[in-house]
Amino acid sequence: MEPLNGRGGRLKVADGAVIADNATPPPVCRETDMTDSADQPPYEEAAAFLKLLANPNRLAVLCKLHERPHNVTELAEAAGLPQAAMSSQLALLREAGLVSCEANHRERQYYIADPRVNDTVRLLYSFFCAPES
């Protein structure tokens, strides 16, 4: 079974790619009857979410978007990736529902769409980036 994303779709992991459909999930942290195979355990959803963040390029994108919305050129420059590679990473994150974008004339501004991403980036920052006191 596919894990659920936090904004109404299911995350499907196939060949390393994560995509979302439009199914409406139950709440993220829900009681699960482990004997019912139709119900997805929360740890499967958590694993799919963390798998998306486990890629250094996608994590760099999410850290940058945590600051403010950015366009693909800004994100590619910040991550040191070609624009085409950045577009591929953004497509995966968008399909999973973690980021979204708004068209502003000929430019798309990407932003974090899933509040769990901001919480996770904040936590990772406190573990790995915050100055030690």
What's residue 52's pLDDT? 94
**C-beta atoms surrounding 80 within 10 Å:** 10
Residues 6+ apart with CB under 8 A from 122: 66
Categorize the per-residue pLDDT at 133 as very low, low, confident or very high, splitting at 50, 70 and 90.
low
d(CA 45, CA 40): 8
Average pLDDT over residues 106-116: 95
pLDDT in tens, 38-53: 467 899 999 999 999 9
Q: The whole model's pTM is what?
A: 0.67
**C-beta atoms surrounding 69 within 10 Å:** 17
Domains annotated on the chain, with CATH? 11-128 (1.10.10.10)
Rounded percentage of the chain residues whose pLDDT exceeds 70? 70
Average pLDDT over residues 4-28: 43
Burial code of 50-61, b = ≥16 C-beta within 10 A, e = fewer? ebbbebebbbbb
